[in-house]
Amino acid sequence: MFSPRKVAVLGATGSVGKSGVEVIAGSHGRLAATVLTAHSRFELLVEQAQRLLPKVVVATDRKAADAFNWKGLPKNVELVTGSDGLLQAVRSEHVDVVLAGIVGSAGLRSVLAALEAGKTVALANKETLVSAGPLVSKLLATSPGKLLPVDSEHSALFQAMQCGQREEIARVILTASGGPFRTWPLEQLRQVTVDEALAHPTWDMGPKITIDSATMMNKALEIIEARWLFDLPAEKIDVMIHPQSIVHSLVEFIDGSIIAQMSPPDMRLPIQYALEYPHRQPGVSDRLDWKKAFRLEFEPPDRQRFPAIALGFDCARAGGTSGAVLNAANEAAVQAFLEGELHFTEIVPACRSILEAHPFESAPTLERLLELDAWARQEVHSWVCA
Ligand code: NAD
Ligand code: MG
């Protein structure tokens, strides 16, 4: 008998989560949302529960959940609160696939728990691989859990890689829109305001990744993500600016053939590909309009104006604790910028100096990574107060 694939949408009220909900609602019953989680915006979580009737909703911020009036939640939907509730929910028998759409290293433990429990993780939360790449790789080698990319560039690489063998890959090329400041001179970048940095030209995303796109730290994180996801050395990873965000990334094979994946900038497609994998379905995402002329442009990134790119390569090469420190420093620095405590052009230098000052270890435990995560955040705080 046909039974739907059971999906837990983590961070359902965010940009990725909302797209995931649309993909599931438009799947003609092939996918069912059995768990929905959120840290805030519980009114939206209740609306989503009314629409999709999951078994469980998880409100991870327990204090806020206790203060919220849940009377709109349908009768047979169970409410669970707190981050332990999140871990229980991802491990439950009601879940086949976990769409990891929580932002930042707050998403780490739920991804590890899902993999340990043998679930398939559709990974949007790149910070997990950036911070704990070595641990995730080890886990994947020893548990039945699987990881599928949702980040559009990595989904593109995953799709393009299916045209050849692993050892036939010469290199992968991650595309980047270049963000809102692609053509701005360095002097002007110093004056960037929060509103300017939050206005992305091609993608509509949550605030943290939108700032990461403006500094190009997002591409740095994606270089590290590609290193762990595909077990590629940094030397085989390249970045090209592609302002239209239609070619989502490319794989160059040893014979010189280059395979690209193209589609309009719409996260619903890579989300659907991961949730329905290995099948393709008509789906709900936008299509390219072949009746209109359009151009595709590519140029190498300006590494002087966007020093984040070099940081990404450095961490992909170093491995160990470097990704966790870079990620935590960046999360704290972005927060400080959003709160008006740090200039836009200070985000990346703050990350570099904290990275260089940290006591590097090549094979850290999870506890050590979490300690260094906390340390790096504190260092940003001292940077801000200095
Ligand atoms: P967002 O800010 O829009 O949503 C974040 C979600 O996580 C919300 O549902 C929020 O309630 C939840 N959340 C926040 N803090 C939490 C915590 N401490 N514990 C539990 N839940 C928490 O973010 P987003 O843009 O959807 O991004 C989510 C992840 O996907 C990020 O890692 C981002 O890098 C990645 N990603 C996003 C896009 C995109 O188009 N938005 C594309 C590629 C990758
Ligand atoms: Mg991306």
Q: Above 70 in pLDDT, residue 371? A: yes
- pLDDT one-digit tens code per residue, 114-165: 999 999 999 999 999 999 999 999 999 999 999 999 999 999 999 999 999 9
Structure confidence by residue, pLDDT tens digits, 205-263: 999 999 999 999 999 999 999 999 999 999 999 999 999 999 999 999 999 999 999 99
Cite the DSSP H helix spans in the chain. Answer: 15-25, 42-52, 62-67, 83-91, 108-116, 126-142, 152-160, 186-189, 194-197, 207-215, 217-229, 268-276, 308-318, 322-338, 347-357, 366-385
pLDDT in tens, 4-33: 999 999 999 999 999 999 999 999 999 999
- Does the pLDDT of residue 77 top 80, yes or no? yes
385, pLDDT greater than 80:
no
206 in the same domain as 144: no
Is 270 part of a structural domain of the chain?
no
Task: Report the pLDDT value the prediction gives residue 258, as an integer from 0 to 100.
Answer: 98
CA distance linking residue 127 with residue 326, whole number of Å: 10
Residue 320 lies in a domain: yes
The percentage of the chain sitting over the pLDDT mark of 70, rounded to a whole number, equals 99
Q: Both 28 and 83 in a single domain?
A: yes
Ligand 1 centroid from CA 268, angstroms:
14
Task: Determine which residue's CA is closest to atom 39 belonging to ligand 1.
Answer: 205
Instruction: Say if 271 falls within a structural domain.
Output: no
Task: Tell me, in angstroms, the distance from the centre of ligand 1 to residue 167's CA.
Answer: 34
Identify whether residues 306 and 361 lie together within a single domain.
Answer: yes
Count how many domains the chain has. 2
pLDDT in tens, 80-112: 999 999 999 999 999 999 999 999 999 999 999
What is the structure's pLDDT at 40?
A: 97
In 3D space, the residue among 51, 108, 67 whose CA is nearest the CA of residue 59 turns out to be: 67
Mutate which of 58, 84, 103 for ligand 1 pocket (most atoms within 8 A of beta carbon): 103
Which residues have CB atoms below 5 A from the ion given as ligand 2?
151-153
**Host domain of residue 80:** 5-149
On the question of pLDDT at 386 being above 80, the answer is no
Overall average pLDDT of the 345-369 stretch? 97
Which pTM value belongs to this model?
0.98
Please name the helix (run of DSSP H) or strand (run of DSSP E) that holds residue 9, with its range, or none.
strand 5-10
At 3 the pLDDT is 92
pLDDT score of 1? 66
Residue 109's domain is classified under what CATH number? 3.40.50.720
pLDDT bin (cut points 50, 70, 90) of residue 2 is confident
What does the pLDDT average to over 51-75?
Answer: 98
pLDDT at 384: 81
Average pLDDT taken over every residue of the chain: 97
Instruction: Tell whether 41 and 82 lie within a shared domain.
Output: yes
Q: What is the pLDDT of residue 382?
A: 86
| Nearest ligand atom owner, CA of 206 | 1
Indicate if 14 and 142 belong to the same structural domain. Answer: yes
Residues 101 and 215 in one domain: no
Same domain, 346 and 381: yes
* Confidence band of 361 (pLDDT split at 50, 70, 90): very high
Token pair 């949702």 in the structure block, residue: 150
Residue 325, in any domain of the structure: yes
Which residues does a 6 A CB cutoff place in the pocket of ligand 1? 11-17, 38-40, 60, 101-103, 106, 124-127, 151, 203, 205-206, 208-209, 267
**How many whole angstroms from 148 Cα to the centroid of ligand 2?**
14
**The dihedral sign for the CA sequence 223, 23, 210, 380:** negative
Residues 145 and 234 in one domain: no
- Cα separation, 250 vs 370, whole angstroms: 34
Question: Which residue puts its alpha carbon closest to atom 18 of ligand 1?
Answer: 106
Domain CATH code at residue 234: 1.10.1740.10
Indicate whether 92 belongs to any domain: yes
Claim to verify: residue 126 and residue 161 sit in the same structural domain: no
Does 296 score more than 80 pLDDT?
yes
Ligand number nearest to the C-alpha of 103: 1
Distances (CA, A) of 270 to 99, 131, 145, 214, 237: 11, 22, 20, 22, 21
In a domain, 272, yes or no: no
